[in-house]
Structure 1
Amino acid sequence: MARIMVVDDEVSSRSFIVKYLKYLGYGVVEAANGKEALDKLEKIPVDVVLMDISMPVMDGIEATREIRERNYPVVVLMLTALTDEKAMDEAAGAGADDLLTKPVNLKELETRLKLALKVVNFYKSKRYFQMVIFEDLRQLNETVKELQQRNEQLIMELFTKLQLISEYRDDETHEHTLRVGWLAGQLAEKLGLSAVDVAEIEFAAPFHDIGKIGIPDRILLKPAKLDDEEWEIMKKHTTIGYEILSGSSSSILEKAATIALTHHERWDGSGYPEGLSENDIPLEGQIIAVADSFDAIVSKRPYKDALPLDYAFEDIEKKAGSWYNPEGR
């Protein structure tokens, strides 16, 4: 048999309705106000709620609104002695299914309950489907989060692997790319760039020489000075790197493409591949030019030995205004 909840702060009125409902054979739950009704609905399954409007602690309109918010699968019949149309509109707006005037006509109550119980299956089905959909969405959300975490790890691993590609052919320690990235991040921070820009430059900088994978070993690993023809081929690593990295939706890879193309441009226009000068050179290109040159000076290469740090600082300082932005001293 169906279970009915009677919510009314007037004991005599509530007891009158409760006795009649029991006489009709319904199970009955009682509550003295909206808050008590919500507490009991959390624990006890109910089919229909007979809800008084005017009650202390929490009135019937607020309680009905909360019932609908929580998606309890119940039909709400509002009990009221009021004839105020505004209150009736509020009750309907809160989610009440029907209104009964107090004092309650018992025969009318019996008829309304029979109709209400035909509707309650709709609420139960709605509740069931909402729960199924919510669970499906929850599982989907967890799957998406897991995929995001995996992809974030994958992206970082791919960044690391790509950064090492050219260095496996050019740098015995394979650490040149990481050193340039760290130095570039330090310079970007000193220049007052935002934390996001600093991080993006630090991640993008190690890609600066990725175009060297397109340079023949006889040139890339030659343990002597390159001749003019070889030098022209070597300079192509900037455009090769740009072609590899450009066109990405990733802001990091877009910065990396710009860096690959412009990190050999010089402040006075004497660099390559486009002969850009001064602030026509993108800032990230200017930063990596300094970081790359500094690391090249203090590192061993096939054609040279490592030089002291003091020498590197002096060389960078001397070329500020010709190779590098003088404001970056």
Structure 2
Amino acid sequence: MATDKATILVVDDTPENIDVLAGLLRDDYNVKAAKNGEIALKIAHLSPPPELILLDIMMPGIDGFEVCQRLKADPVTRHIPVIFVTAKISPEDEIRGLDLGAVDYITKPISPPIVKARVKTHLALFNQNRELDRKVKAQTEVIADTRQKVIERLGRAAEYKDNETGMHVVRMSHYSRILALAAGMNEADADLLQAAAPMHDIGKIGIPDRVLQKPGKLDAEEWEIMKTHAEIGGEILGDDESELLQLAKLVALTHHEKWDGSGYPKGTSGTDIPLEGRIVAIADVFDALTSTRPYKEGWPVEKAIGLLEEEAGKHFDPKLVKLFIENLPKVLEVKESFLD
């Protein structure tokens, strides 16, 4: 039967002591009992876990101090408030218990009003902290989501200047994450790359319109100007301590390098090109090829894949091209989800 009562775990090796506390608290709370530390640890891991533990110190097997230490060392149970209920209450014991993470002591023989008051107080604090954690987590998610939207819009600002309208930076950032995971990158690093990738061409903001928006083919001088957008992007993103901006700078500077060393700005080749730059190069080109723009029709996926295969070992890391093709169903699912 569903209930809104908080659950309290009473741990004591003496049944009479458990009966006294349970009788005192059961009208207001759900009370569970454990006669030793081993059972207490098992109950603490049940779902839902207790919201407060009243813990005796002197018990056979593992004593209350060790039970508390194990509870606080475990991420699953460390948040549960522990109150020691004991006749052993020397100053040294009290300090030891508080150092282990207990929130309070209640001395035996117990005073019913004190037990009720302490339990009520610590449950209220526990609930306040839990609600605060929930709000902080929700606000953190909002901040992270806002940050990502700002990053995407910064990336799109450069793309609009280059007639790359629509969802290009969103799609290619998702493609980058898919490929990063396929290449063995962990989830956190792949997420960071997805967040950084939209800023890959931010340096185009610094390219003159006469070059960036020229309808025909660029001459040699204009092409040299165009190539500077990678280093301009690095300068815009700067030398910030932010891990995200550091990665964004790395991507801006390296995603136009080519596997055979014919890219720019440094002419770096092979695995000397950072993995993140090699990943974004493939994601960026694939989306650019398959996207329709005012000045061109989007290529069929098969034709774009054919170009990636043809350029494997020249423009692109051949192993990453293979992984990208192996994960094409995931790529196409993203493509359909973020249409222009």
The TM tier, using the shorter chain, reads 0.5 to 0.7
The answer as to 2:33 corresponding to 1:33 is no
Gaps of 5+ in 1: 1-31, 45-57, 79-87, 100-116
Amino acid at match of 1:209: D
Q: Summarize deviations over 1:10-67 as a string: whole Å, max 9, x none.
A: xxxxxxxxxxxxxxxxxxxxxx9312322344389xxxxxxxxxxxxx99966xx89x
Deviation of 1:282 after TM superposition, in Å, equals: 0.5
Match of 1:181 among 170, 173, 176: 173
RCO comparison, higher one (Cα < 8 Å, 6+) = 2
Q: 1:303 to 1:226 in 2, by over 3 A?
A: farther
The answer as to 2:192 corresponding to 1:200 is yes
Match of 1:287 among 266, 279, 286: 279
Deviation of 1:135 after TM superposition, in Å, equals: 7.5
Q: 1:247 to 1:126 in 2, by over 3 A?
A: farther
Match of 2:237 among 221, 240, 245: 245
Q: Secondary structure at the match of 1:322?
A: coil
2:201 corresponds to: 209
1:29 corresponds to: none
Separation in structure 1 between the aligned mates of residue 180 and residue 56 of structure 2, nearest angstrom: 61
Deviation of 1:293 after TM superposition, in Å, equals: 2.2
Q: 1:59 to 1:248 in 2, by over 3 A?
A: closer
Superposition RMSD in Å: 4.4
The percent of aligned pairs where both chains have the same amino acid is 39
Separation in structure 2 between the aligned mates of residue 163 and residue 264 of structure 1, nearest angstrom: 16
Moved more, 179-188 or 226-235: 179-188
2:218 corresponds to: 226
Contact 2:152/2:169 (<8 A) preserved: no
Q: 1:320 to 1:70 in 2, by over 3 A?
A: closer
Separation in structure 2 between the aligned mates of residue 300 and residue 269 of structure 1, nearest angstrom: 29
Alignment of 1:47-196 (within 5 A): 70=83, 141=133, 143-171=135-163, 173-196=165-188
Match of 2:264 among 269, 272, 276: 272
Contact 2:57/2:84 (<8 A) preserved: no
Separation in structure 2 between the aligned mates of residue 195 and residue 175 of structure 1, nearest angstrom: 23
Contact 1:269/1:276 (<8 A) preserved: yes
Greater C-alpha radius of gyration: 1
Contact 2:291/2:298 (<8 A) preserved: yes
Separation in structure 2 between the aligned mates of residue 311 and residue 98 of structure 1, nearest angstrom: 80
Q: How many residues align?
A: 251
Separation in structure 1 between the aligned mates of residue 143 and residue 121 of structure 2, nearest angstrom: 32
Q: Summarize deviations over 1:75-111 as a string: whole Å, max 9, x none.
A: x8x7xxxxxxxxx899x95878799xxxxxxxxxxxx
Amino acid at match of 1:240: I
Gaps of 5+ in 2: 1-14, 28-54, 66-80, 95-104, 323-340
Separation in structure 2 between the aligned mates of residue 178 and residue 209 of structure 1, nearest angstrom: 13
Separation in structure 2 between the aligned mates of residue 96 and residue 186 of structure 1, nearest angstrom: 55
